[in-house]
Structure 1
Amino acid sequence: MEDTQPEGGENNRDVEVAPARISVHPTQDSVAVAVGSDLRVFDLRGNCGVTLVDKTGEAFHKDSIRAIRYGANGKLFVSAGDDKLVKVWSTDSWRCIASVCSEKRVSAVAISNDGLHVCFADKFGVVWVVDLHGLDGNETLVNKKAAPLLAHYCSIITSLEFSPDGWFIVTADRDFKIRVTVFPKKPLDGAHEIQSFCLGHTEFVSCLAFLVTVDYPRGFLVSGSGDSTVRLWDINSGTLLDTCEVGSKAGIVDYNGSEVSCSTVTDLCTIPGSNVVAVAIQSLQGILLVSCDLSSQTFGAVKVVSSMGDNFIPTSLGCSSSAELLWTITGVSKLHGSDHSSLACVRVLSGFKKTIPDAAGPELTVLNDNEVPGAEKLLEKLQGSVNVEEEVFLAAAEAVKTSMCNLLIKKQYTTEKREFRKRGRNDKKTKQ
């Protein structure tokens, strides 16, 4: 049988890994971590691990979880991923109150600011919406139907965000585009009004976040990309306000000591109420902090925090609106050649202020294990196995990089190989 592997490599599900994700309750009541198919939640108020209750008939998630998200009011939590299941959880009881089947693997999720709609994006470029009107924490809906909201037409959607005022839903994709769409009053009928396109990235857009302060409640959009930049946008007009070359600012070098010319921004996290954006970069052992002067609509000082431990390359960032703590995690699922089915390590930083300290000022504090809220009980719950060599996490970071390249960087095929792939497409096969 002819080999179907195209040039440049094909997604190989046997070696494909999923990065560990972290999400923090808006008022820091709890913290959730997804590693592979494992969803781990720690109740910070009760100082105990959470037991998830799922009576939808499904055995929780059966494949890697790609997206997790708390709602703006903290009452809902959503998880979704490669098993094509979108699960909506009540954070009061941690019961699964709705289970939605997606046609394709899910790449991103978002919850409307009023908590009445859950949106998710699939690998085919379609954003779907689920109506939660009338659903409470005691009711369970199995296989609730989702309606198509909008589409990017065959381009993987990498990130979903609702604007702070709830007027817009912002979608980013593999083809360098950011689309700002008016979120309709009747979402089940579809979203047909495009507010703007934010164009300027030269590689896939990997993550989005809104920077909101008291003086600027409508906020500004911040985006990260495979082109090693973070960009600031006015979403009403789609205007690019400023660009920060985070790769060069961080002075990233590879493991052989050579400078890395381009490194993907893997996650962004804005510190609520401040002008600071935390940036995770796939080759940076630590995080980058970028300040924004919102009055002039430009980026300002940049600070590298590299005291998080050797080989700690964050795969996800999270922050609550009520505490000056930044939660970070590194880890993956299905690491090839490892004895561990999943890896995770959590670090928490404190000491954030309204602006970034000067280079000569005090360093942000990386909390010791006994200083982290929940201490050892939390770490045991969220990390699982804690006795993992740092070199293993370094290998995990390389695996995430390869997986992201396979997923988001478009592959080039010869004409012959392209025609062969077309003949093998499911929609081209003759029905027997």
Structure 2
Amino acid sequence: MFGKVKHRQRVYFSARPLGQKTHEEETGGNVTSFIGDCARVCLSVHRRRGNMRTLGFCGDWLVTSCGTKLVAVHTKEDREAFVFDCSLAEKKPKQTKGDDTSEETGNDEVLAVATSASGKLLALTDDTKRLVLFGCEPSWRCISTRWVVRRCTALTFSRAEDELLLADKSGDVYSFSVVEAQRDGELKLGHLSMLLAVVISPDDRFIITADRDEKIRVSHRRSPYNIQAFCLGHRQFVSALHIPAGRPDWLLSGSGDGTVKLWEFESGRQLQSWELQQDASAAEQNQNQVHPAADQNAAVCSVTSSPDAHHVAILCERDSTRHLFCLDSDGGTGFGPPHMLSLPCSPLDVSFDQEGRLWVLMDSCEDPVQVLCCSQSGWQSLRGGSGGPELCRVMGGLKPHWSRSEASTRSFQHLFKVSYDNVTSYLQKKQQRLEEQLKRRAEQEEKSNKKSRGEESSPENPKEPENI
């Protein structure tokens, strides 16, 4: 049974079972503390997203974001790189009274990028709440510039490429039309907590959203108020969602608890789960490497799969390794154990091309991109001339616009749950009160005994002489 919750003049249905404690109940009803935590979390996402560098493919174009710039380099032909600088883009007109948007000003840094399935469309959103839609064939052109209500955390296109979904830090998903490129966005659905990822199923039937409160919700796209299922099992925020190619009924999710799970999302059934922290710790112990403390789980930043769905690459924060999963050969019932790949410096993002090669965006000015190819002996790094003309073109087009990130790894530290141990402090205070009461009672009894003994021996009450 679901509880009915009124939130910002809209009615939602929360997935909290009856009897389960809310955040206010867990924190002793401290609503001010709860609101303060939410404000700090929203601010942290804004800062973290600003330091993000993204990598992806839009057809034959390799697309990456670097600060305020979007850079696209063609991998097959010697064409001029496309560069879009958000700081030089169209500015937002002055707001009118009654406008729901806030007056905050951003720094124009790119927050999220999404490409369509055909590779003909690309969308980005920046810190100034600008949503820009591009077409890249036959040449790059800006189709529209629109404005969103709140800063975005994730973008995705529908398979039919007629709709663009935008998830924001307040837990709302807005729908923007691709056909009517100038039309404003419409509210599609909402969560009670911050959204971190959104994807649409390959058949365009379901919208899958993930939030900070460990929930993965599967909603009907045409009627989002109808919830198909919940995928529950993560112990921390869900930061990444991905549907593997060739398996439209599967969903891969990554979380701040350091796990990756495989779901049958229409039923909400969990198929597999991997503890990346344990695998990384075991591998590094074999190599005599120092591993972080066990309580510092590395949050999963991104999950992506190869076009043939034989490999899945998972990027974790504070980690210079890559975990790869190989599809089981016994009928494709799941994925095998993870394989770790060591990289020379911190990876920022990762993506597969159409040939199944793994492109890694590195936090390095000398070699910002590295290409890995899978062979019978394992994954091999292709550098310099061995990377082929594609890598040379990408390096030449990207280096003039590339700079190292201020924060070489993404930080999810403000998204982790904070535990409040009210019981221990309550018991300590209760024990202290009992001890003080016993002490006062003992002092009162001692004073009463002294007073009674003094009255018995007092000269004011001499004994009467006996009659002889």
Same fold (TM over 0.5): yes
Cα offset, 1:96, TM superposition: 1.5
- Give 3-state SS (helix, strand or coil) of 1:301's partner: coil
Cα offset, 1:374, TM superposition: 3.3
- Aligned counterpart in structure 2 of residue 249 of structure 1, from 260, 279, 282: 279
Please give the root-mean-square deviation of Cα atoms over the aligned residues, in Å.
3.4
Say which structure, 1 or 2, has more relative contact order (CA 8 Å, 6+ apart): 1
1: CA distance, partners of 2:144 / 2:401: 30
Structure 1 spans left out of the alignment, 5+ residues: 136-140, 185-189, 333-339, 353-360, 416-432
Cα offset, 1:69, TM superposition: 1.4
Pick closer, same or farther for the CA change 1:236–1:169 going to 2, 3 Å.
Answer: same
Structure 2 spans left out of the alignment, 5+ residues: 1-34, 93-105, 423-468
1:378 is matched with which residue?
Answer: 394
Q: Does 1:233 align with 2:263?
A: yes
2: CA distance, partners of 1:383 / 1:174: 35
Pick closer, same or farther for the CA change 1:325–1:70 going to 2, 3 Å.
Answer: same
Contact 2:56 2:351 in 1 (8 A): yes
1:42 is matched with which residue?
Answer: 73
Contact 2:70 2:85 in 1 (8 A): no
Contact 1:53 1:95 in 2 (8 A): no
Encode CA deviations 1:274-302: one digit per residue, 9 max, x unaligned.
Answer: 33211111132131101243847443132
Pick closer, same or farther for the CA change 1:344–1:103 going to 2, 3 Å.
Answer: farther
1: CA distance, partners of 2:47 / 2:133: 29
Pick closer, same or farther for the CA change 1:246–1:405 going to 2, 3 Å.
Answer: same
- Aligned counterpart in structure 1 of residue 203 of structure 2, from 165, 171, 174: 165
Cα offset, 1:331, TM superposition: 4.0
TM-score, structure 2 length as denominator? 0.69
Q: Does 1:156 align with 2:194?
A: yes
Alignment of 1:35-74 (within 5 A): 35-48=66-79, 49-52=81-84, 57-58=90-91, 62-74=107-119
Pick closer, same or farther for the CA change 1:9–1:96 going to 2, 3 Å.
Answer: closer
Task: Name whichever of 16-25 and 262-271 sits farther off.
Answer: 16-25
- Give 3-state SS (helix, strand or coil) of 1:364's partner: strand
2: CA distance, partners of 1:65 / 1:122: 14
2:218 is matched with which residue?
Answer: 180
- Give 3-state SS (helix, strand or coil) of 2:271's partner: strand
Alignment of 1:16-415 (within 5 A): 17-25=50-58, 27=59, 29-48=60-79, 49-52=81-84, 57-58=90-91, 62-92=107-137, 93-133=139-179, 141=182, 144-153=183-192, 155-184=193-222, 191-213=224-246, 216=247, 218-251=248-281, 257-261=290-294, 262-293=297-328, 295=331, 297-306=333-342, 308-309=343-344, 312-320=345-353, 322-331=354-363, 345-351=368-374, 362-370=377-385, 371-384=387-400, 396-397=407-408, 400-401=410-411, 404-406=412-414, 408-410=415-417
The one-letter code sitting in structure 1 at the alignment partner of 2:122 is: F
Max radius of gyration: which structure?
2
Identity of counterpart residues, as a percentage?
A: 25
2: CA distance, partners of 1:278 / 1:19: 18
1: CA distance, partners of 2:44 / 2:336: 41
Encode CA deviations 1:364-407: one digit per residue, 9 max, x unaligned.
Answer: 12111332543344224334467x8xxx77x8335x22xx223x
1:421 is matched with which residue?
Answer: none
Bigger helix share: 2
Cα offset, 1:46, TM superposition: 2.9
Contact 2:112 2:124 in 1 (8 A): yes
1:423 is matched with which residue?
Answer: none
Provide the aligned length of Structure 1 versus Structure 2. Answer: 362
Contact 1:56 1:99 in 2 (8 A): no
2:458 is matched with which residue?
Answer: none
